[in-house]
Amino acid sequence: MQNGFKNAIRKIAAISAGALMTGATMFGAVSATTLADYPAPFITGGKWVGLIVVGSAAAAGDIIGATDIAATLAQNAATGSGAAGVSVSGGKAQDVPLNTTLASKFGSALTATDLGGFQDSSITIDRSSGSQTYNIKDELDLSSDSPRLTTGIIEGSTAKDWGSDVWMTTSASGKITYVYKFKTSLALAYYVNQSSDTYPTTINFLGKTLRITGATETSITADVGQEAFLNVDDSVVINGKTIKLVNVASGTSPAAVVVDVDGVQQTISGTTLVNGLRIKVKNTFYSDTRTERSSTLLIGTDATKTYVNGDAYIGEDTNNPNWVWSLAGLNSATPTIAVTNAQSYINPAGSYKPIKLGESMTGPNGFFKITPTVATTTSYKDYTFNYLGIADLYNSTNTLNTSAAYGLEITASGAGKNGFLVSGGVGNTGAKYTDKIFIYVTTNATGFSNVIRTYWSNPDQGNHYQEASPAGTYSNNAGNGTGLTLMAQIVTPDDTSNLNLRALMNTLNSNVNVIVDGAQDIYTNVSLSSNNIKYLGSAQGTSAASEVTVMSYQGSTPVDISTLDASGRTVDGIIVNSVKSNADGDQVKLSIPSKVFGSAGNFAIKTVVSGTGTTVTTAVGGSVVISPVSGVPVAKLDTEVADKTAYNQIIVGGPAVNTLTKELMPTPTIVSGEATLKIVENAFSGTKVALLVVGYDAADTRNAATVLKDYATYKTKLVGNTAIVKSSGGVISVSAPTVAAPATA
């Protein structure tokens, strides 16, 4: 027996190292691990750093579940190199700039010509009067105003939860809708509300068979249980329970049958609740020979169910669904049978978080996905604005003008050869590239005070700061009053589109605004003392209001981000790094992408809309580098784990079959048909994390493992440190654990 389990463990390891590694996904680490972080901390930096542990006494379902988990983790054990790339077959991909709706790029309706797995075919509807065939199609509708790609700064928010991430927000319910469409009008006898159990309307809805047995204008009654054909003495396991067909009565089909559900035997007809499962007798076959008798049963938590417009879709949390029915006109020639998003996804700190780069908005049954994959550029150049700069300044002929001058020193580093473009000045005419400039305030020859001047670091003159041209395109105009002065151009890493660096003198000559002039301007407020730049804002060494502001993109009021205790990103893709902590040190640090705006294209996100027949290969960097796992433990039996504190572990199986589970969760509080996913911090009194995958039985454990395998589908439900997994009619649902009400006195 042990050899068999070890062979299964070796299979898991082989999957982790093999050809399943086809894409890369980015994940950010946080201080306290929750289910929302999965697959971190088991995948970190594109590398496998965890351990899967299966009990030596595990059932086959536990082994299969662990294999499923390993398969998905293998796909994430990869990193990228070079330029970003996404290859899509049977789907649709577009470069979507920030603050742009998806509908403006993809169109408002996607069909089978766009998405693999979507239908454009026909169905036949039977009624007592005859049959008719109708052309139908699947359609995914996107609202004109949402979903949209955005950032916290674009939204005018200084909440740290946004960070510098790109998010796909959905502003309200009803913005993403799957529609099953009849392409021609129905005849009266074939209206959906004419459906019955004898003459149902059976359609392929969201990739699954939906048998409608009744309807009103805005509701349907449908079979939702799992269909099983059984001969007498055959059995099937559904929702963790064993259903056995004991006998079939004579008479017209459907006749009564005798069933046994986990030891509870009962004679039933129609739809009956037996030991927690509803069983509907769909048809029967009787013979004088008992072993030839059979029946088709519909089995589940609900065998049939009525859904009203706005109800949670099948398998969704009825209290907090992601998807709800949209039903209308079912008593007419043009019925609406659809599902639509039930929530708004606009707050990264809320219960319904928007979709992060690399994650997916997944439709019911995984029938479609909308995925903002990767940025169209991964090349950045870093710019440090140091407002405590001191430098010796030279004129254009390299003669020292001012020693130990106070000013703003801006340094470029990172990708690309040069950071700034200036006009060189007398003796150095023409455009000059440099990685350092110095902005200084002085008095001009005609007596005006507070003239803003630019100096550039000249590598041909020992990197001395030399004065740029006092006239021409990049002139140092007198700033005694209002008006923008062009100090230099910021050169993007691939030199395809440049940003202007400007300065604006305050009318009271007490401060200067230094502006990165993009589609969304970044303003820094610089204080002057004795006509010198001395620090950022109104005081040295601490951040305060209005030191760093960004022009609003959604309204008329500028966004003050001076005290933002995180990084942020503008509509140009520019990252303002660690705003508050840098401002406390009188610095502003920007990371500017190679594509900002202009003829070379905007900073954009390669976004993919896919169906079940879509193949997407994502490479963060044009090629995928598979992280080797040779010499790295991937999976072990519980009896083989010598140091339980050495790894972050995914522990599969209940306490009866896995000794590690028994230590951390000796008595799981789950019932039949349930499983739990639970994060345990500081597991085994160490510093690592354990993720327990524990079901009431092996089938339930396997369901929980399926959630981890398809974690992107359940992302919005994987929150906190514990989740409950259930299955109804083959549809898996995930919810938060139920908290018992406090006892009353």
Percentage of the chain lying above the pLDDT 90 cut: 44
The reported pLDDT for the residue numbered 471 is 32
According to the model, what pLDDT value does residue 588 have? 93
Phi first, then psi: what are they for 3, rounded to 5°?
Answer: -60, -40
Quote the pLDDT of residue 380. Answer: 85
Q: What is the mean pLDDT of residues 727-738?
A: 80
8 Å CB contact between 370 and 360? yes
Distance, CA of 86 to CA of 23 (rounded, Å):
9
Q: Is the pLDDT of residue 623 over 80?
A: no
Give me the mean pLDDT over the 190-203 stretch. 96
The runs of H, that is alpha helices, within 419-566 are none
Identify the pLDDT of residue 630.
Answer: 42
Q: Which helix (H) or strand (E) holds 272?
A: strand 271-274
Q: In this structure, are residues 550 and 523 in contact, taking their beta carbons and an 8 Å threshold?
A: yes
Average pLDDT of the chain? 82
Amino acid in the structure at residue 641:
V
| pLDDT confidence of residue 472 | 28
Between 698-709 and 60-76, two packed helices, what is the crossing angle to 10 degrees?
10
Distance CA 718, CA 39 (A): 11
- pLDDT bin (cut points 50, 70, 90) of residue 646 is confident
DSSP 8-class letter at 711: T
Nearest to residue 605, comparing CAs of 593, 613, 615, 614?
593
Asked if 321 contacts 307 with a C-beta cutoff of 8 angstroms, the reply is no
Read off the pLDDT of each residue in 454-472 and give the average, rounded to a whole number. Answer: 75
Residue 70 has pLDDT above 50, yes or no: yes
Does residue 694 surpass a pLDDT of 80? yes
CA 621 vs CA 75, 230, 251, 316: distances in Å = 16, 53, 68, 37
User: Regarding predicted confidence, which is higher, 704 or 635?
Assistant: 704
Q: Are 273 and 282 in contact (CB under 8 A)?
A: no
pLDDT of 724 > 90? The answer is yes
- H or E, element range at 11: helix 2-17
Q: Evaluate if residue 216 carries a pLDDT over 50.
A: yes
pLDDT for residue 258 is more than 80? yes
Q: 125-134, 408-417, 644-653, 728-737 — which one is most confidently predicted on average?
A: 125-134
CA distance to 25, 56, 76, 219, per residue, from 40 (Å): 11, 26, 10, 42
Residues 346-395: pLDDT tens digits?
999 888 999 998 889 999 988 999 999 988 887 788 899 998 889 998 88
User: What would the pLDDT profile of 542-581 be if each residue is shown by its tens digit?
Assistant: 877 888 999 866 655 788 999 899 999 998 899 999 999 9
Structure token digits, residue 639: 């009896």
Is the peptide bond between 254 and the residue preceding it cis, with omega within 30 degrees of 0?
yes
Query: Taking the model in full, what pTM does it have?
Result: 0.68
Give 418-445 pLDDT, tens digit per residue: 788 887 655 556 778 888 999 888 765 4
Backbone angles phi, psi at 624, to 5 degrees: -100, 125
CATH architecture of 2-81+627-735: 2-Layer Sandwich (3.30)
Lowest-pLDDT choice from 12-21, 217-226, 336-345: 12-21
Question: Amino acid identity, residue 463?
Answer: N
28-52 tens-digit pLDDT: 233 468 898 888 888 765 567 789 9
Largest CA distance in the chain: 117
pLDDT reported for residue 493: 66
First-last CA distance in the chain = 54
pLDDT at 449: 54
Q: What is the mean pLDDT of residues 14-36?
A: 44
Residue 322 CA to residue 364 CA, distance in Å, equals: 9
pLDDT at 30: 33
Per-domain boundaries in the chain:
2-81+627-735, 89-222+306-375, 226-300, 380-593
Give, for 204, the enclosing helix (H) or strand (E).
Answer: strand 201-205
